[in-house]
Structure 1
Amino acid sequence: MPPDISADTDTPISPDLLPGSNLPETGQIPQDDATKGWSLHWLAWELLKAFKQTQDGSLVDASIQVYHKAIPYLSNPNSNPTHSAKAHRDLGNAYYERYKRFGRPGDIDAAIQHHQQGVTTDPSSSSSDEKFPALLNQQAMLHVCRFDCTGELLDLSEAIQLCQRAAELTPDGDADKPAWLANLASAFFSRFQRTVDVGDISQAVQLQARAIELLPEGHADMPFMLANLGNLYHSQAAITDDVADMLMGVQCHQEAVELIPDDHPDYASKLSHCGIALCSLFERTQDLEDISQAITLQKKAVDLTPQGHVDLPTWIINLANSFSSRYRRTDDLSDLSQAIQLYERAIAATPDAHGDLPQWMNNLGSAFAARFRRTQDPADIHRSIQQRQNAVELTPEGHAHLSDRLKDLGTSFVYRFRHTQDHEALVSAAYNYRLSATCATGHPLVRLTSAMHWARLSPQISPEEVLDAHEQITRLLSLVSGLENTLEHRRWLLLGTSRLSTTAAAAALSVNRPSKALEWLEEGRCIIWGQLNQLRTPLDDLRTCDPVLASRLEVLSKQLDNAPGLRKDSYSLDSATDSPQINTHDVSPIPGHIRLRLVKERDELLSTIRKIPRFENFLQPRKCTDLMKSIPDEGIVVVINADETRCDALILIPGRSEPIHVPLGRLSYEEAVRLTKALRRNLKSRRVRGEFVEVEEAGPQFRAARYPFTSFQDSLRDILRVLWCDLVGPILDVVPLEVRQHRIAHPTYKQRRVQKRRPSDTMETQGIINAYLFPDQ
């Protein structure tokens, strides 16, 4: 039997066995000649070994060809089936080696097929065979490799099952058990990177910790196992925001540094990664001691790494990130200048094809922008724009962080506009925000932030820009609110989006688009109402109707939208500062071509869902025509929108295709807020619990402040007078007479009683008015 191809041997290769020699044809060899099969097997093995030494592609091609010729002879009914199984596994390994060298997807498929056939057809491969767990582990690693190529989660699930079985079949005392557990942890972590399932990262942490427990003290792999566990804790902390996870990650990295010899080739790597863990802890705790230790370790890593080393630019970038983090805490310009010098040094030593170069350029652009905000030096903002433009140009389509980098570039142009009042800079800022907001990929919250910045700039550019920006805001809000319903998610939506729909509606009304304003207001109302009342999300409704479609959509959305490494403090949904963030860890586990495929799959899935009755508007705003059809025949509905820029009313009349727009020129947003507060005070004084009165504010503590009844009446009369003159009057002036006569209900008995008391103060309005007011609370 030839040796396993993973073994190292000094067996010489005969020149007669190299490509170009006359390889025997299948028909020329007697089918019962088992010796021929073994000879071909040996030849294939030698060719593969030569390929590993020379990386000559013709050698691996010849090896695969010869393996295919050998298998029929080894599969002869008179042959030992173990021999045929071994040949299939070795052929699978040959395909795998060619895949590693040339990246052909068909090769990894063939590798899995032949390796699996070699495992399932080998009579000696059973749960009692001591080599069986190793074969299962090899098969699992092939599935992981194909997952890295295609992004197909089924491969990861298969790998996890195979690794679990290998670990279960191996006793705790076996020397290979820690490796099997570590591989299983790695598979769970890979799945976590795509789905951001907390259960997967938790499993990975537990398995890696168990592998370390089983590793003998002093084992050479201990520093690396500890460092991997530290990385897992760090990833878990990014989801849980638990300081305990961060501290455990730092502890693991520190132990790894202590255990690895100073002269080990990976010593600098362990120093730098320990610094990263400390920097992340500092970002959470703001303890300067943590960031100082991080800088010390990362400086040492840089000093120990010789010039020209492939990892030196990475260690320099890690050090620069730590200086940037400390600057944001101390506001010390010397730290920022040091970071800029380090970024420039690393970028100068990095080839254009390096995958991390765009992020490093973006970090440098962020550092220049930060210094510009302090110094107002035009050269800094010029260099910020230059670096961020380079970063965008080098970022491939479909990359997870393309939308982030476009947003950051837009921010740099905003800084230039504020400094120079150059309209071209404003146009460039809006253009890049638009590109970011409409990216096919990228986290929806990042794109939503860009859409908001785009909307703020758009009135200075064109009316079309205004509508496009707010259209994208509403579309992204529908997407964000429709897929999750966690407590944190509801809180974020309420804090960050409660005013977006009213602002969008005001923008639409400013360009005479009442239909669009109604659509956006209704979508915002549904989102806010759903979050306040913890209602079912559209995904919950879909799950009731079609669990399979709902599950597919949820998995696709998690893969696309929940990339680890994206912190909620890296984007903002308030107007604030446009302050760019320098991400310490830029992780994009999904290659661009896979991400684009997933986007296409999700779009096709959404199209399928929207063909289902009742789901025509799934994760998108309802159309105005649909909303108008839902108006009850017995009355009209008036929607009132109060925004800082303007106040308007929309009159919805049954049978009409679009609302009537009534500008409320005499009613300002500030006046609406004043009236709301005054009404609250009056209701509190009378211990009345209305829609806008907090329950705890209507308790006994307000009884002593109860207003006299006369004062209450006078104040309420003033509020109603303003509402009548500035709000109700303009609306009634526009409502057609025939609508008032035929569609408005008669006064109630209570209204008539009020009229008898104070006829001069009564409101002549007869109808049903539903008002949606969103003033500051």
Structure 2
Amino acid sequence: MSGETIQVVNPSAEPMSSFIEQGDSANQRFDHDLAISLYTRAIELNSDDAVAYSHRGATYGKVGRHREALEDGEKAIRANDTWNEAYYRKAVALHALNRFDEALSTFEEGLTHGDHAAIREGLREVRRDKELFERAESDYALGCDYLRSKKFEDAEQAFRRAWEVWPMDLKYFLGLADVYWEKGNWDQCINTCCDAIYMGYQDVRHIEDKHGVRTEPALNVEQYVIGHALGLAGKAYLKRGYRLTASLFLNESFRKKPDTAINEVIQSLSNSPLIDEPLQPEHNGPTTNFGMRLFNLSQLYHILNPTINIHKAIQIKRDAVALTDDGHSHKPARLNTLTNSLIRRYELYGDIADIDEAIFTQERAARLTADDDYHKAGCLYVLGNAYRLRFRRLLRGVADIERAVDLGERSVALSTRSDDAEKAMFLDALGDSRRGRFECSGSLSDIDAAINAHELSVQITPSDSMHLAHRLMNLGTSLQIRFSHLHENQDIDRAISVQQEGFKLLERSSVQDKASQLNNLANSFQSRFERFKTASDISSAVTHHESAVALIPDSHPNKHLYLSSLGNSLLLRFDYSSERADIDKAVEVQRHALSLMPDDHATKTSCLNNLAIALLRRYSGYNRPEDIDESIQALEKAVSLIPTNHPNRPSNLFNLAGAFRARFDKFQHVEDIKRAVAIFTEAAQSPTGPPSIRFDAAAQWGIYAGNAGLSPLDGFRCALDLLPRVAWMGMSVFDQRVEIYRTGSIVHAAAEAAIEAGEYATAVEWLEQGRLLVWSHTLQLRSPVDELRDKHPELAKRLVQVSKALELASARDEKTADESAIRNHHDLTHQWEALVDEVRDHAEFKNFLRPKRFAEFVTAASSGPVIVINVARRCDALIVMHDTTDKPLHVPLTGLTNERVASLERSMRNLLVGAGIQSAAIGPVGATRRIGFAWSDSPDFRFQTLLAELWNLVAKPVLDRLIPLLRHRRRFPRYFLRDTPRVWWCATGALSLLPLHAAGLYDTKTTGNKVFDLVISSYTPSLAALINARRPRQGTAKVLLVAHSGTASNPIPKTEEELKVIMKRLRKKVPYFILKGSSATVQNVTQGMEQYGWIHLACHGEQDYQDPAKSALLLESTDSSDLNRLELSQIVSKPLPLASFAFLSACRTAAGDLGLPDESVHLAAGMLLAGYSSVIATLWAIKDNDAPFVADKVYSKLVGRGHPEYSQAAFALHHATKKLRESGAPFLSWVPFIHIGG
């Protein structure tokens, strides 16, 4: 230290503004004493500073020192009589002192100096409270009059009314104790006094509890009120003969409220021996009476030191219960009170033994309380709360939450008065329980019922009730959870609205409540941000999290949770805005959260993970090697803290492996990627943990195995084996699409690895598995579980319940790493495996959740080869033919990559935008045929270039391999239509959006260098869909013709002409029925689809890119000027046994989704899935004149032989587009027409 000096700062040199800022900071830490001291220093420097007085007055108000707050408000006004904030401070203090008229006039005077939102709100509150207070005072005065007149029943009713109207002043409640004293009902007097003391204690003392939290006053309680209660209880005990107990109460009373009469009683007691002992029964007294005294003594112990003596209080209550006979009328109440204390201690210390004892104790109370007893509902309510707490902690299957729901429903049913305050409380608890069951079951009926219960609770809770705030916040939480599953905008908007409304009502609540509700509100803002990415939402989330953190000291048991939540929201904001300060602070607060937790804390691993993720993100953004190293250390510690078979272990392993992978990506140390792959493998092969996490781990194992010198197939095989367990779980539409995109890329990577290893059949199997996921999730088709539900409903129900519990267990198990959670997850896993085996024991379900093998897909190629194209880092074609039962033919597409396919797709999109056919946002533009528009001249050479690339990169390599084989016609007799071979294109990725059927070289007249010169093309979204399209159809062909000319603002010309040319072709050959104009309604069309095997639709079409299942045909409306929608989901859900052929002469009916191109889930594909074997559709909007021309040529071939042949649809379209080409039509006219299906 030599040569160094320590600078001593003179505190008086601090500027006044610095003291105010420091005081504000202390207030945020809830250190009000320090804040008052700092504001006082500022005032000493400048006694005319209104701001300092205002801030100190606000702080006095927070700790219940309202008279001092009033003085500071007055001083602030004297210092600056034009500052409306000063008037606000004075008025708030007057309001707290119940000086309502003065508060009103002060608020009004403040408004004369400028508008002030808080003053206007204060006026509203004062007017409301003034009315309520005057009613309470009137009833209280009436009660006092009745009491003096010995009209005890009337007095009791008056005091009760006063307390119900104004439960902020204990003197009204204590009026009841005065009634019992005058009546000589000592026991009731004692019990009422003890209740009053318990309610008012913290509001008077403002002492710090074990967590260092000072409690703000919720009641307007003066010292003398508590002193009166203590004294009255002491005198009543003296009347009962319990001199020592009386002495304890009376001495505490005198300390609170010096009183000559009380002091004389104390002196008389001190002059004679106190012969009774508080913890032993009187030798001659009944044990039941002593039980009551023990109970009240436990309340007093709790009052004198609530956290230190809660253990002693519980033991005394246990003794009181033990000394009370089961038949005694007070036994259920004492059991109930013991339960509440056990729950309180559990909330303080987290010992699961307390909640187990609470449940056991309250079950006894419930048994001892008759069903017709008024208190039975409340007894069941407390028991339900205990079960719900244990469910949150241990997750013992669904038994605890099922019991909580049952108890909640019974307590509500027993509370018959719709406006009963208790019923509102019971409904609120029922809502919490139904929400808990939803988290376990995933059943929407549960979360809907939860919201309904919360809504009813809020409705019957008076607007001036102190409980309204919490009930609004609970409603908001349930709405937020439903939003997280369904993503309905109105849910999250309303959640935030009611939570904000509730928070405004928390002005007089404890800081713990405020912090908790701020955290909930922040979570809602965060949820909305994650969905819509609105900057203001994530800023609000961060602000509210920061406020929650600031309200409570480090010693509070939830401080680490609030800090961690703040860190997560800062991380989200960093991801959005890339502000360096956010990621730095995210790391800082996550470290702070960890510093507050011992290694054995239940949520330590979760916080370690959060810190590691923040460090990883900072490493990714700013390349700090020390961040990735610290991240790995944190994750290694998290893994070391979790037992081997804990259900949350795979998630921790996955994160750790990801960190090693990130370090490998940067420094290319092979040891890092070997560690990463080994850890991914362990996570994937774990017997516990959610299937979704294990699937992701297996995928990463497969993707990076090659870097570690291992085969990737084992990893991908593990992933694909897990896919059925991930895929058919219920999801929202939004989550489905995210899942489809994620798993789709993994499936392509797996197929690529299989192709590189020469396992071509495996590649096809895996690609089909991915396709099945797309179809079943997007169109909500009948999954294997739906089929099971038809035959064995109870078995299906059990399987779904266990699957949901398994998938959700990891997230909830974060709160505990004890053996019970591990055992619970093991039990669920064994149940799931046993149930699947039970399903497979049924012959018709022997392959339940097992993927199909390649040999089962070969029948898709019975009428022609199917060309499956995988688009990944490398691209390959796999040609399935009916004689290739062991493996498909492989054609490497050298020169084609994922990036090149994406570039080709962008080129075509730009071409269509330039031609005025499609908007840049990928949607139809303008108004024309099927969206009639004004065509722009399209440069055909651009299309030539695009189609030439498709020929050289895709079609030519495939057909060069295939055509020589097809020349052996005798080998493939069914592969030809009218002497031309057929093929089916089954592309993946963005390639599925490109017109492979039109690929070719158009700058030469040489034949044989265009696809249509060599083959007739069809498309299929999957092999399974093509197999389904070939099943036999019932009945004879009849045609339903539907035409709708659109609206005045968006007409479709030539629909009448189109129908006429079709009718001309059908006449006398095929029966048909017409629905056009006003008769072309959704109802008529859907009924017609059930009765007619063929359908021709000439109308508007609309593709929904957010939810493809809502893509629709637009038809006549019966009740409005708008068109009605026949949605894809409606079509798919209809049983259509006659369906065989559909011609969709509507725009973009075969247009895929550029966001998720693997989703070939467009209107045409949906028709195929609905049961139609063969579908003609369009890739983009078509010219008005082209539709009648193509329809005429198509139907001429379909019925040209005198009878309908839908199997000729591909040839018919091939012929029609040839004629359109030969007429000189541009590419944009004939290319969009395609055939899908058999």
Fold match by TM threshold 0.5: yes
Find 1:12's aligned residue among 249, 259, 278.
278
Q: What is the rounded CA distance, in whole Å, between the counterparts of 1:365 and 1:752 in structure 2?
A: 59
Alignment of 1:658-737 (within 5 A): 658-659=886-887, 661-664=889-892, 668=896, 726-730=957-961
Structure 2 match to 1:604: 834
Q: Give the C-alpha shift of residue 766 in structure 1.
A: 11
Q: What is the rounded CA distance, in whole Å, between the counterparts of 2:904 and 2:538 in structure 1?
A: 50
SS of the aligned residue for 1:176 comes to helix
Structure 1 match to 2:1188: none
Q: Give the C-alpha shift of residue 697 in structure 1.
A: 10
Alignment of 1:268-287 (within 5 A): 268-284=515-531, 286=533
Count residues with an aligned counterpart.
705
Q: Give the C-alpha shift of residue 419 in structure 1.
A: 1.8
SS of the aligned residue for 1:12 comes to coil
1:642 aligns with 2:889: no
SS of the aligned residue for 1:614 comes to helix
2:981–2:1016 contact (8 Å) kept in structure 1:
no
Alignment of 1:217-228 (within 5 A): 217-228=463-474
Q: Which runs of 5+ in 1 are unaligned?
A: 18-34, 75-81, 120-124, 567-584, 688-693
2:441–2:801 contact (8 Å) kept in structure 1:
yes
Structure 1 match to 2:111: none
Structure 2 match to 1:162: 407
Q: What is the rounded CA distance, in whole Å, between the counterparts of 2:732 and 2:547 in structure 1?
A: 43
Cα pair distance change 1:515/1:150, threshold 3 Å? same
My pick for the range that moved more, 352-361 or 145-154, is 145-154
Task: Give the AA of the match of 1:208.
Answer: H
Task: Give the AA of the match of 2:834.
Answer: E
Q: Give the C-alpha shift of residue 163 in structure 1.
A: 2.3
2:294–2:316 contact (8 Å) kept in structure 1:
no
Structure 1 match to 2:769: 523
Find 1:103's aligned residue among 337, 347, 353.
353
Q: What is the rounded CA distance, in whole Å, between the counterparts of 1:557 and 1:336 in structure 2?
A: 37
Q: Give the C-alpha shift of residue 333 in structure 1.
A: 0.9
SS of the aligned residue for 2:848 comes to coil
Task: Give the AA of the match of 2:757.
Answer: V
Structure 2 match to 1:379: 626
Find 1:614's aligned residue among 826, 844, 848.
844
Structure 2 match to 1:132: 376
Q: Give the C-alpha shift of residue 339 in structure 1.
A: 2.2
Q: Give the C-alpha shift of residue 307 in structure 1.
A: 4.5
Q: Give the C-alpha shift of residue 283 in structure 1.
A: 4.5
Task: Give the AA of the match of 2:829.
Answer: V
Find 1:180's aligned residue among 405, 423, 426.
426
Q: What is the rounded CA distance, in whole Å, between the counterparts of 1:715 and 1:265 in structure 2?
A: 65
Q: Give the C-alpha shift of residue 420 in structure 1.
A: 0.9
Cα pair distance change 1:542/1:348, threshold 3 Å? same
Q: What is the rounded CA distance, in whole Å, between the counterparts of 2:1010 and 2:591 in structure 1?
A: 74
Cα pair distance change 1:712/1:551, threshold 3 Å? same
Q: What is the rounded CA distance, in whole Å, between the counterparts of 2:981 and 2:321 in structure 1?
A: 98
Q: Give the C-alpha shift of residue 545 in structure 1.
A: 1.8
Structure 1 match to 2:721: 475
Structure 2 match to 1:352: 599
Cα pair distance change 1:261/1:514, threshold 3 Å? same
Structure 2 match to 1:153: 398
Structure 2 match to 1:575: none
SS of the aligned residue for 2:752 comes to helix
Cα pair distance change 1:169/1:605, threshold 3 Å? same
Higher relative contact order (CA 8 A, sep 6+): 1
Q: What is the rounded CA distance, in whole Å, between the counterparts of 1:707 and 1:256 in structure 2?
A: 62
Q: What is the rounded CA distance, in whole Å, between the counterparts of 2:532 and 2:504 in structure 1?
A: 23
Alignment of 1:390-409 (within 5 A): 390-396=637-643, 402-409=649-656
Task: Give the AA of the match of 1:103.
Answer: A
SS of the aligned residue for 2:781 comes to coil
Q: Give the C-alpha shift of residue 557 in structure 1.
A: 2.3
Q: Give the C-alpha shift of residue 460 in structure 1.
A: 2.1
Task: Give the AA of the match of 1:165.
Answer: R
Q: Give the C-alpha shift of residue 421 in structure 1.
A: 1.4
Q: What is the rounded CA distance, in whole Å, between the counterparts of 1:390 and 1:303 in structure 2?
A: 29
Find 1:537's aligned residue among 783, 788, 799.
783
1:196–1:564 contact (8 Å) kept in structure 2:
no
Alignment of 1:225-244 (within 5 A): 225-244=471-490
Task: Give the AA of the match of 2:607.
Answer: W
Q: What is the rounded CA distance, in whole Å, between the counterparts of 2:825 and 2:981 in structure 1?
A: 65
2:320–2:334 contact (8 Å) kept in structure 1:
no
1:441–1:595 contact (8 Å) kept in structure 2:
yes
Q: Give the C-alpha shift of residue 201 in structure 1.
A: 2.8
Q: What is the rounded CA distance, in whole Å, between the counterparts of 1:47 and 1:167 in structure 2?
A: 29
Q: Give the C-alpha shift of residue 467 in structure 1.
A: 0.8
Structure 1 match to 2:1082: none
Q: Give the C-alpha shift of residue 728 in structure 1.
A: 4.3
Q: What is the rounded CA distance, in whole Å, between the counterparts of 1:312 and 1:493 in structure 2?
A: 34
Q: Give the C-alpha shift of residue 174 in structure 1.
A: 3.5
2:342–2:354 contact (8 Å) kept in structure 1:
no
1:451–1:469 contact (8 Å) kept in structure 2:
yes
Q: What is the rounded CA distance, in whole Å, between the counterparts of 1:716 and 1:329 in structure 2?
A: 40
Q: Give the C-alpha shift of residue 178 in structure 1.
A: 2.6
Q: Give the C-alpha shift of residue 729 in structure 1.
A: 4.7
Q: Give the C-alpha shift of residue 559 in structure 1.
A: 2.6
SS of the aligned residue for 2:878 comes to strand
Task: Give the AA of the match of 1:361.
Answer: L
1:328 aligns with 2:328: no
Alignment of 1:433-472 (within 5 A): 433-464=680-711, 466-472=712-718
Q: Deviations over 1:165-194 (max 9, x none)?
A: 322332144342232222212211221221
Find 1:195's aligned residue among 434, 441, 444.
441
1:44–1:66 contact (8 Å) kept in structure 2:
no
Find 1:388's aligned residue among 635, 644, 652.
635
Give RMSD over aligned pairs.
5.7
Cα pair distance change 1:292/1:766, threshold 3 Å? closer
Q: Give the C-alpha shift of residue 475 in structure 1.
A: 2.6
Structure 2 match to 1:553: 799
Cα pair distance change 1:95/1:251, threshold 3 Å? closer
Q: What is the rounded CA distance, in whole Å, between the counterparts of 2:772 and 2:430 in structure 1?
A: 44
Structure 1 match to 2:750: 504
Cα pair distance change 1:343/1:660, threshold 3 Å? closer
Structure 1 match to 2:615: 368
Q: Deviations over 1:496-525 (max 9, x none)?
A: 444544432231132232342242233234
Q: Which runs of 5+ in 2 are unaligned?
A: 1-186, 196-236, 238-244, 246-276, 303-308, 918-923, 983-1005, 1024-1151, 1158-1238
Q: Give the C-alpha shift of residue 712 in structure 1.
A: 12
Cα pair distance change 1:704/1:157, threshold 3 Å? same
TM-score after normalising by structure 1: 0.72
2:587–2:614 contact (8 Å) kept in structure 1:
yes
TM-score after normalising by structure 2: 0.48
